[in-house]
Every structure is written in C-alpha cells, then in structure tokens.
Structure 1
Amino acid sequence: MTRLLGWWRRIAPTLVALGVALAVTAVFILIIGENPIAALVALFDFGETPVAQANSIGVWINRAAPLFLAGLAVSIGFRMGLFNIGVEGQYRIATVVAAGLGAAIVLPAPLHILVITLIAMAAGAAYAAIPAILKVTRGVSEVISTIMLNAIAIGIAAYLIRSPFVDPELGAGENVATTRLPESAHFPGLNELFGVLGLEEPRRPVHGFVVVAIVVGVVVAVILSRSRFGFELRASGLSALAATANGISSRAMVVKAMLFSGALAGLVGLSDLLGSAHRFQPDSFVAGYGFTGIAVALLGRNRPGGIALAALLFAFLDRAGPRLQSEGIPPAAVTIMQGIVVLSVLIVDEVARRRLRRREERRARAQDQATTPVEVAS
C-alpha cells in the first residue's frame, strides 16, 4: 500500500500538468478561432483506412525511438548537474561519421551494423569530450560550449559530406550526400510484425532500431540504479563537495558523464540512417531531436521509464501535426502544446515541492514542541 501511494504521488503532478496543458492548449485554439473539440478528435485520429492507421502507428514508432535516446542522453548530464545542450550537434557528427565510415567497410550483416553503432557512439562521445575537457580544465560553462559546438557541427558535417565521405556518383553538387550503405548495414524493419499481429502492413518503413533503443534504455536503467558509476553520478549531482569528501572526483565524473551522454547521443540518428535513409543527406536529415530531448528528459524526470513515456507522448503529438493542419490548426500548435506540457510539469512540480517542504517544516515544529520539556513555575 505504501509503495502504491508513493507511485501515485510521483505520477499525480504529471497527470495534473497534462490536464493543465490540455486546458491551456484549448484556450489557445479558441483564441485563433478554431474548435478545440475538433482538434482533440484530430489528435486521436489515426486515419480512416487500415493502411493509413498502420502508417500513422509506424510514424509514431519511428519518431519515438530517437526522442527516447535523445532524452536518455540529456538525462545523464542532468543527473550530474550538467546541462548538455550539445546532443543536437553530437548526434549530427555521429551520424555523418557512421554513414561515411560504414559505407567504406565491408562486413557481414550483423557485424556491420554493430561496427557502425560503435563508430557512432565513439564519435558522439568524442565530440562531447570537448566541452567536458573545457569545463574541467578551464572552467568553461558546458551550456556556452555546447551551444557553440552545435553550430560548429553543422559546418563540420557539411565539410565531411563534401570531401572525404562524398558519394563519387553524386559529385559535389547541390544534392551532395555520403555513399549509400550496403545492404549488410540495413537494419531490419518491423513492417512484417504488423502482419503477424493481424494488422495491415505500413507502406513506409518502420524502423527496427526501436528494439535497440529499448535494450539501451534497460541497460541505462540498470547502470544508473545498480552500478557504482550510477551511485557516483547521483552523489556528484546532489553535492559535489560531499562526493569529493567520500573520494569521488567531481572532475572525473564530469568527463565520464559527458562521454556517456555523448555516446548515447551518437545513437539518436542511427534509427533513420540504418532504417530508411541509408546515407547522410542534409535535405533528408531529421534535425531537432537533441533540443526536443531536453524537454523529454525534463518531462520524464530523468528516469528511463519516464523518459520512454515522455518520448511516446511527444512522438504522438508530432504524428498528429498533419492531421491538425488539415483541420485548420497551424503546425506550431503542436510545438506550443509540447512547450506547455513541459512548463506545466515544472510549475506543478515546484508547487508540490514547496507544499511538501512546508508540510515537513510544520511536522518538524510540532515534534519539537512535543519533545520540549515544559517549564514548571516554582
């Protein structure tokens, strides 16, 4: 019963925040002159035909996997007290390097995919090491350095796909891209799984990399809750001075946390790369996962399970964007809704935290008064 009550207290603020976000979004839709009821119906409309419904579910899955990985990457820094805004640049660099080097090697199918995955993680970790080293050696804020490195990553990626990784068949024109990955590097999709479940198969590829994302989430959850690294990460995030007093080097933990975060960020772009794109091309590269991952991590309270639910929610809202637009609601409404959800969660959390603190203070005063001996007048 106590565990159930504790679980309810953890999710109650989020449920309240979602209700507040829905109400505020409804007011926004009224202000722009549209019907909020029609918007709500469109939000849960997956299509009229079985094929359309399958395609919509496929888009949901394809969007959720990279958002989940981005949220995990951001959450590692949050647990350490670091604000790693550089996930956006880290997964861009990792995707370019993985696409270029992956196309240059020839290996059997499972091994080829594994090597590309390790290359992407190494590239993401290497790019994340830059702000980590700057912070521990020069005291440079990771917020400033990662923001700047995001912009630099765009230039580095543009250079890599125009010089060392360019597809010779395309040349260096406007439609420049990396060499296409061989079939041994194509990650199997989940389209046939729909047929096994008795559903219509989607007409678009459903990325099977979501299975890897789930495995990564489980591994990260175990590492954070059951390993020495996870304990040191939490201890350093709560109090660097106390952690140092117990023999934990805060400087080393900053580097380790950023490397771990960057390695997870390197996985973000592989879902699209190995599942459907099979090359890096600026026009088809999906940007923005890193920034949205910050909101996903906040909404998920830096816990892998919560981040998974937050990623599903944000992917669900993204999937509904075209349907909302058909009802006359601008696409920006989805972004506004996502922002309201995060803001509502933060506000409700702060209100709940303050109420809990006041309750604990009243309880402590009551206990002090009960234990204080009463002076008897002589």
Structure 2
Amino acid sequence: MARIRTALLPPVLAILFAAALCAVALVISGASPLTALGAMVGQVGQGTTAVDIINSAAIYYIVALAAAIGFQMKLFNIGIEGQYRLAACVAAIVGGALVLPPVVHTTVIILTGVLVGAVWAGIPALLKAYRGVSEVISTIMLNAVSLGLIAFLIRPDSFGVLQGNNISTAPIEPSGQFPGIPTGAGTIFGMVFVAAALGLGYWFLLNRTRFGFELTASGESPTAATAGGVNAKRMVIIALVLSGAVAGLAGLPEVLGRDFAYTLTSPQGYGFTGLAVALLGRNNPVGIAFGAVLWAFLDKSALALDNVGVPRDIVLIMQGSVVLSVVVAYEIVRRYELAAEQRRVASQLRGTTTPQKEPVA
C-alpha cells in the first residue's frame, strides 16, 4: 500500500497543483481556463498537430533518456544541447558525402551521430573523473564551442551548401533516409520506434544488469559503491559517454525523416527541454514517455490559443508549473514517507522494549 501511495500520490498532487497555477495565470491574463483547455484539446484533431505531437514527443523522449542516464549518477549533463546538434551536423555531412546501400547508409549515419555525441560528452567526462571539473561548467562551455564548430563545418568553403538564404549540408540521398509512416495528417518519423527501443533498453539496463545496479548505487552513495568494489571514475566516464551517445540520436529524426540535411536554422533547444522532461518523468522510462507527450502537446496545441485570444506564452507558464509541481510534490511525499517510517520504527521499538522487573529482596 505504501509503495502504491508513493508511486501515485506525487503525480496526482503535481497535476492538481500545476492545474491550479495554470488556472490562476489564465484568470490573471483575462482568459477562461476551460476555454483555453478546450481550444488546446481541439487543436489536436486539426491539420498535422497530432502527428507533430508524436514526432516531437519522440525527440523529447530521446533527449530526456540521455539526461536521465546522467541523473542516475547525480550528473547534470547540460551539454546535451551541443552534443545532439554537433552529432546531427556531422552525421548529415557524412550522410551527404556517402552513397551506400539503403540500410547500410542509414546505419552509418546513425552510428556517426552516436559516436560524435559520445566523443563530445567524453571530454567533460574525463575532466570530471580525473580533474574534478564540474560537468555543469564544462558542458555549458562545450555547448558554445559546438555552435562555433557547427558554423565552421557548414560554411560554403567547408561542407556547406548555399541554398537561397540558408546554408545546409549536402542533401542525403534516399538510400540514407529513414522511412516514416505516412498518415492522412502527415508522416510519423520512423525513428519513433528507435526512441521506443531506447526506452526498453534503458529499463533493461537499469533493472536487469549489473552495470545498471552499479550505476544507481554509485549515484546514491559513491563512497559505499567504491567500498563495494565499484570504480567511481569509470562509472562517471561511462555514464556521461553513454548519455552523450544517446543524445547524439536526438537530432536524427528530423535530419533523416524530414529535412535530409542539417542547416543553420535547424531546430534547437531540445537539450534543455529534455532536462525538464527527465525531471518530470523522475528518470523512469514510462514517466518520461508521459512527460514527453505532455510537453509536446503543450508545445504544438499552443497554436490554438491565438484563436481564443489567449497569449501563446501562457504555455511557458504551464510547462514551468508542471516541472515545479512535480519537484515539490515528490519532495513533500518523500518527507511524509520518511516521517511515517520513523514513526513506525519508533512504535516497534517501544513495543519490543519491556520494563525490567526489580529484584525481590
């Protein structure tokens, strides 16, 4: 019963708290919460919104899994933004330069993205493990470096191709593209299934392998893990490199399924969104999936708010409220469960302690 309460109570409290905050914000802005919600829900059935939500949720899910791997070790990989963008750029360059058989071509592009993401994350991993440099500082700095490197790589005199007013990498041939699922409302990225496979792999890694146990144990107590024979430096390096490898896949659904090239105007900001979604899902693959869908829904259905006279920026308040509510709710429930456990232990100790009889004279 206690485990069920711990699992269900925090998200329920978070939803109620977030709904209350969003309702207050809407009322202050002069709009009706019910009208705004109805418009957003109705937008899902309009045009390509439903497909856009699925595609965006897949990308958010991949990025959030990358963040969650770091969170398991109490590592804050803010460099996911630079890792996935640099990986997408280099993968697009490789994909545009090669002509291979269909499956092989796509596989080479994907492996290139994974390798670049892992290598880029390996830099702060080594700095953290052997020099004690905070991964927060090093990854933030590397984000800026990656942007400059991308700008250099896609210059017309490097690997870039000038197309109108935009610069992109050379287009990827159909043999390297990842086929999607055509629907009446658009095409669902084929890499949606890759995202689902990553979620299953993440669950299996954490719950069914020794490495997953060591990863979690090292995050909970590095000292105890080291005493148990776990190499702390090795776990830091593996966790960040693995996080970067997964992050390297985040930009590929759009590169391989829609744009077939990387441009200076390619979408950005997924890395920071992934951090929020990972927090929202509490590093659980199922929770992250729900968080990714919710975040994508808020992003894509916000278009309908303009039609009912509600500022679209209210969605940012909604998203921030959801993350804040989840953090607060889980902390409240954690403290409640801790206090309840302390009371149970104290009660048991009182029950097992019997007063000693005084000796008879």
Structure 2 length-normalised TM: 0.95
Give, in whole Å, the separation in 2 of the partners of 1:8 and 1:318: 31
CA shift at 1:47, angstroms? 5.9
Give, in whole Å, the separation in 1 of the partners of 2:4 and 2:208: 20
Q: Are 2:313 and 1:322 aligned?
A: no
Which of 240, 243, 256 is 2:222 aligned to? 240
Deviations 1:187-217 (A, max 9, x none): 11111xx4xxxxxx12x43212101111111
Aligned length: 358
Give, in whole Å, the separation in 2 of the partners of 1:325 and 1:224: 43
Distance 1:105 1:7, change over 3 A: farther
The 4+ residue runs of structure 1 with deviation greater than 6 A are none
Give, in whole Å, the separation in 2 of the partners of 1:100 and 1:114: 14
Which of 236, 246, 255 is 2:237 aligned to? 255
Distance 1:12 1:225, change over 3 A: same
Which of 126, 150, 162 is 1:157 aligned to? 150
Could you tell me which residue of structure 1 aligns to residue 122 of structure 2? Answer: 129
Moved more, 271-280 or 329-338: 329-338
Deviations 1:321-374 (A, max 9, x none): 111122222222112111101100111111111111111111111111112221
Unpaired runs of at least 5, structure 1: 195-200
CA shift at 1:33, angstroms? 1.2
Deviations 1:127-161 (A, max 9, x none): 00011111112111001111111121111111111
Give, in whole Å, the separation in 2 of the partners of 1:144 and 1:224: 27
The 5 Å alignment of 1:1-378 reads: 6-46=3-43, 52-53=46-47, 55-162=48-155, 163-167=157-161, 170=162, 174-191=165-182, 194=183, 201-202=184-185, 204-283=186-265, 285-377=266-358
Structure 2: which amino acid aligns with 1:298?
L
Could you tell me which residue of structure 2 aligns to residue 197 of structure 1? Answer: none
CA shift at 1:102, angstroms? 1.0
Deviations 1:24-64 (A, max 9, x none): 1010011111121110101211367xxx35x1111111110
Question: 1:44 aligns to what SS in structure 2?
Answer: helix
CA shift at 1:377, angstroms? 4.6
Question: 1:177 aligns to what SS in structure 2?
Answer: strand
Distance 1:8 1:372, change over 3 A: closer
Give, in whole Å, the separation in 2 of the partners of 1:288 and 1:267: 15
Structure 1 length-normalised TM: 0.91
Give, in whole Å, the separation in 1 of the partners of 2:288 and 2:125: 24
Over the aligned positions, Cα root-mean-square deviation in angstroms equals 1.5
Distance 1:324 1:92, change over 3 A: same
Structure 2: which amino acid aligns with 1:282?
L
